[in-house]
A and B are shown apart, each in its own frame.
Chain A
Amino acid sequence: MATNNDKIQFRGSAEKEATQIVDQMRLGGINISELARQGLQEKLRETLSDEEKITLHRRYKEGELPEEVARILLGDSLEDIEREQKAFEEASELDTSGVFQE
């Protein structure tokens, strides 16, 4: 199980060689840590099932999950919900004439 003190490490000699080759090809090299961080975020999100996302969002709403972590896992969905909520509120203020059957 991962703890706060864990360094994120993985064995991957072929991956290492691959990144070194790309690093050498580029004049300014590449930021391997940054790439790894982004890759990890992306892959974490990809592995989540719908049910897991729902559970995570519920834990976030209950204050069990820090916002920073929720943002990594759920990405833009948090803003989506806020935007949806606003649109819904505005829509419920609009005139409903013609909406209901006579």
Chain B
Amino acid sequence: MVDDDIRHPVIVDTDALIAVANTSLWSRITATLNVTTTNVCYHELKRHVRENSEYAPEGTQERWLHDGSKTALEPFDDDENTSFTAVPCVPRPHGEDGGETSVQTEVHQHLELYRFAILMDKHGRRSINRVFDGAEETTGKAVAPTFLLYLLLDAGECSVEEFCQACGEMLRGEGWTGYVAIQAAWEAIPVDCSQYLSNDLLP
């Protein structure tokens, strides 16, 4: 694990990493963006790989967690890669939502260094946004994982079609939670996905 304390402006939690790692744009993300996570999230990914079987049937939550976590770990495990870093969170939180809590703590402690906090859970985002909003001037924003896909689109690193497909993949994997995130993205940046996605998925 790269434990070199490099803090990029984008910090991502466990569930958000899994969500984007399960889309076909993940390799583009690892080649384009600088991403930081916490050591707690890193270990959560490791635990998901260990505790969920790689032989679980395709399409199950277990398989989704295993494959997504395994894929998400690769760039962090690459010692040559300084674009994907894991930073130690002190004190280290425990329990179910330890990863998410660690991102909140980390943002709190290094508020000026982070601009985009990407979390899957809406409560986590709300809590970080309170911290950002309470700062002297708006330094950053907590947003849903679709924002990582948007960054690619905005930088011209993926096409509208690829963006829409990846949103569709996330939607299928994350159900209602993903739908809320994707719906918000579609409304915030009016992208027409009607050519690329089946009707039941569209905004």
Interface size bracket, A side: 20 to 34
B154 within 8 A of partner (CB):
yes
Q: A-side binding surface: helix, strand, loop or mixed?
A: helix
A1 within 8 A of partner (CB):
no
Partner of A98, one of B9, B122, B151, B180: B9
A27 to B203, CA, bound (A): 51
Annotate A75-102 by CB proximity to B: 1 below 8 A, 0 otherwise.
0010011011111111110111111110
A71 within 8 A of partner (CB):
no
Partner of A92, one of B10, B150, B179, B187: B150
Enumerate A46-88 residues with CB–CB distance to B below 8 Å: 50-51, 53-55, 57-58, 61, 77, 80-81, 83-88
- Nearest residue (CB) in A for B155 is A100
- Nearest residue (CB) in B for A91 is B141
Interface size on B, residues (CB 8 A): 40
A88 to B33, CA, bound (A): 18
| Contact status of A99 and B151, CB under 8 A, knowing A50-B175, A80-B180, A81-B183 | yes
User: Is the CB–CB distance between A98 and B8 below 8 Å?
Assistant: yes
A88 to B187, CA, bound (A): 9
Partner of B203, one of A61, A80, A88, A100: A61
B184 within 8 A of partner (CB):
yes
User: Is the CB–CB distance between A88 and B143 below 8 Å?
Assistant: yes
What is the minimal beta-carbon distance from B30 to any residue of chain A, in angstroms? Answer: 9
B125 within 8 A of partner (CB):
yes
Taking CB atoms, residues of chain A closer than 8 Å to B176 are 50, 53-54, 77
Partner of A87, one of B9, B33, B115, B125: B125
User: Is the CB–CB distance between B115 and A99 below 8 Å?
Assistant: yes
Enumerate B103-159 residues with CB–CB distance to A below 8 Å: 115-116, 122, 125-126, 129, 138, 140-144, 146-147, 150-151, 154-155
User: Is the CB–CB distance between A57 and B147 below 8 Å?
Assistant: no
Ordered by A's residue number, 8 sampled pairs between the chains whose C-beta atoms are within 8 Å are A53-B176, A58-B200, A85-B187, A88-B188, A89-B188, A92-B154, A94-B116, A96-B155
B contact residues vs A (CB 8 Å cutoff): 8-10, 31-34, 83, 115-116, 122, 125-126, 129, 138, 140-144, 146-147, 150-151, 154-155, 175-176, 179-181, 183-185, 187-189, 200, 202-203
